[in-house]
Chain A
Amino acid sequence: MQKIEIFKITSLNREPLIVEGYFFEGSDPKAPSVAIVGAMEGKTILPLYTASKLVDFLKNSINDSKKILGNILIIPSINHYALNIHERFWPLDKTNLNMMFPGYDKGETTQRIAKKVFDTVRGYTHGIILETRDDLSTCMPYVKEFKSGFEDLEDAKKFGLKIVHYKDLKPTDTVSLQYNWQLWETKAHSIICPSTMQLQPDSDEIFEAIVNFLNKNNILQHKFLGGYESTIVANEAMQIIKTPKSGIFVPTKKIGTQVIEDEVIGKIIHALEGKVIHKILAPCNGVIACSYKNALIFENAVAFRIARNT
């Protein structure tokens, strides 16, 4: 294992930000390669945890280095400055690093950071980006794949996560890492991690999914017990359930559970008077893929997203 410096940036008052990647050289020069990008945002823990666990696993649990067939680069965090103060974006100008790709070496600070990261990860066969949802919801772990024209859904299924969300491309997605990485011919996928700020007993699920992905792609000779046969879920198959009332949101079904049509899946309580003012019913059969993550919910906010059973 080799540590490589990807960029270093000084600060007026803080210690310099030094971002490093952990590089594991593969034993087979013909094997495919992978780069994994962890936390780009600061209010996120699973991308960081998953990436750092992978570093430890490859370094300390794979006893025979020949089992690492292809080159593996892991960058657990590119935004320590934000993580350390619980800011979501770049702390000074609040710009989102995942909206700065492919980067620009003469531009603004975060464009320069994006450029250095992109130059480092370009050219890998596969790319994995660990993200969390960008709205106020949390979710079961799933693969997000843009309809970019360069996507590889078969490759995305190899994680063995239940859902591959096959998403229409929005204008703002054209400056994301996934899109630009795909444009440069890397099979890039985003794994959307639950937005929890605390680790749970099942927090290793994504780590295991990545190891199995590496195994199926002949990058690593190791596998965990099998995952799922992924279902491709397009926007049309994702049912949005909004709450007509604002107040205190009490989900009564957990993320990842199967629900049946007309079943109560949550309720809204009047914030000052405590009575139940709305019951949220499942409009279809399916699995709860996403749920609003705060207790106080806005009117017409999306309370749940259900992936419809096909």
Chain B
Amino acid sequence: MQILEIFSSKLPVGENLVIKKSRFEPNSKLQTPKRISIVSGIHGDELEGQYVTYLLAAWLKKNPQAIRGTIDIYPGINTLGIDSITRGFPLYEVDLNRVFPGGEDDFLPGQLVHALALDVQGSDIAIDIHSSNIFLREIPQIRINKEFSNATLPLAKELNCDFIWIHDAVTVLEATFSHTLNTMGTKTLVVEMGVGMRLTQEYGLQLLKGILNLMQKEGIIQTDEVFEVREPFSSEVGDVFYLNSPCSGLFVPALSHCDVIKKDDKIGDIVNPLDGDIFETLYAPHDGILFTLREYPVVYEGSLIARIFGGNDAKN
């Protein structure tokens, strides 16, 4: 295993900004030219991906004889953000996942993402692990842009996630890591799971198994271990229903995340801590699986409270 710097910049006062990756290759001669890149921490307040890259690096260290191809691990892209609990690039206040592909003449965040895109370029597969944000908790899911779904959907099914969400192409998302790398010819998948600023260990282990399974199927690792993965449900066979807060207040949930729910089940209350009143009680708009649930209790009118996936059968 090698530790490599993919980007380095001297900060104004006695410190370097360094983005690192670890590279795992077979001990003997390279047996497959295939390469996979695992990226996390593009958003500084999302840590679930760092737990997954830890688990993966530890597995590879323990099983060096299994390695057949090249595995690059980029645990923390927004290093300054991660260490200061800042989602965007500190000071510039920009979302790094909205400045791809960047460029050498670009501002510092643009130079950084440019270096990342160039370094990952040439990989056969890339996985960009996100953990929602501090406001919402998500079950392990893959987000796929319809434009690239022919290439990426078969891979997504191997990743041991619960849900695959295929969305339409939106121009603003062309500035993301996944769109940029998919355009460059790397099959890139976005994982969303857990919640910002926390680790959800069971999700980390679940995704680890999925990544190992995908790498085994692609011949990047070879082991006798069998990785049994769950079959995800897909947005192709149903609809996503949104529940946004009708008012501002404090959200108190009435159920746990990931529950299977029925239409009109109570999801929670928006309450007034000053006088003890309940502003609104929220009910499920549809049968289905509660795959997104509000984690941060303070809400304004419009704040997302929940997303429910309702299958076709539930529609009738």
Chain A positions within 8 Å of B229 at CB level: none
Q: A12, B11: Cβ atoms under 8 Å?
A: no
Q: A300, B108: Cβ atoms under 8 Å?
A: yes
User: Which residues of A130-169 have CB atoms within 8 Å of chain B's CB atoms?
Assistant: 134-136
For the complex, give the distance between the alpha carbons of A299 and B107 in Å.
Answer: 10
Q: A89, B248: Cβ atoms under 8 Å?
A: no
Q: A99, B172: Cβ atoms under 8 Å?
A: yes
For the complex, give the distance between the alpha carbons of A99 and B99 in Å.
Answer: 13
Q: B302, A112: Cβ atoms under 8 Å?
A: yes
| Inter-chain residue pair count (beta carbon < 8 A) | 96
For the complex, give the distance between the alpha carbons of A171 and B98 in Å.
Answer: 9
Give min CB distance, B150 to chain A, whole Å: 22
- What is the total number of residues of chain B having a CB less than 8 Å from a CB of chain A? 39
Chain A positions within 8 Å of B94 at CB level: 134
Q: Specify the chain A residue showing the minimal Cβ separation from B108.
A: A298
Q: A301, B301: Cβ atoms under 8 Å?
A: no
Summarize A's interface: helix, strand, loop or mixed: loop
Chain A positions within 8 Å of B249 at CB level: 12
Chain B positions within 8 Å of A174 at CB level: 171-172
Q: Is A29 an interface residue (CB 8 A)?
A: no
| Chain B 180-223 interface 0/1 with A at a Cβ cutoff of 8 Å (1 = within) | 00000000000000000000000000000000000000000000
Q: Specify the chain B residue showing the minimal Cβ separation from A115.
A: B302
Q: B300, A11: Cβ atoms under 8 Å?
A: yes
For the complex, give the distance between the alpha carbons of A10 and B304 in Å.
Answer: 16
For the complex, give the distance between the alpha carbons of A296 and B17 in Å.
Answer: 14
Chain A positions within 8 Å of B135 at CB level: 93
Give min CB distance, A257 to chain B, whole Å: 23
Q: A106, B175: Cβ atoms under 8 Å?
A: no
Name which of B32-40, B85-93, B122-130, B254-262 contacts chain A. Answer: B85-93
For the complex, give the distance between the alpha carbons of A9 and B299 in Å.
Answer: 12
Q: Specify the chain A residue showing the minimal Cβ separation from B100.
A: A171
Q: Which one of B10, B94, B107, B244 has the greatest number of beta carbons of chain A within 10 Å? A: B107
Chain A positions within 8 Å of B304 at CB level: 108
Chain B positions within 8 Å of A112 at CB level: 301-302
For the complex, give the distance between the alpha carbons of A84 and B90 in Å.
Answer: 21
User: Which residues of B65-117 have CB atoms within 8 Å of chain A's CB atoms?
Assistant: 87-88, 91-94, 98, 105, 107-108, 111
User: Which residues of A48-93 have CB atoms within 8 Å of chain B's CB atoms?
Assistant: 88-89, 92-93
User: Which residues of A89-132 have CB atoms within 8 Å of chain B's CB atoms?
Assistant: 89, 92-94, 99, 106-112
Q: A93-B133, A172-B98, A271-B12 are in contact. List 20 more A-B contacts (CB 8 A).
A: A10-B248, A10-B301, A12-B273, A12-B298, A89-B93, A93-B135, A99-B172, A108-B304, A109-B302, A109-B303, A136-B91, A170-B175, A171-B172, A171-B174, A174-B171, A174-B172, A246-B10, A294-B91, A296-B13, A302-B107
Chain A to chain B contacts (Cβ below 8 Å), 7 pairs:
A9-B248, A11-B300, A99-B172, A108-B302, A109-B303, A297-B12, A298-B108
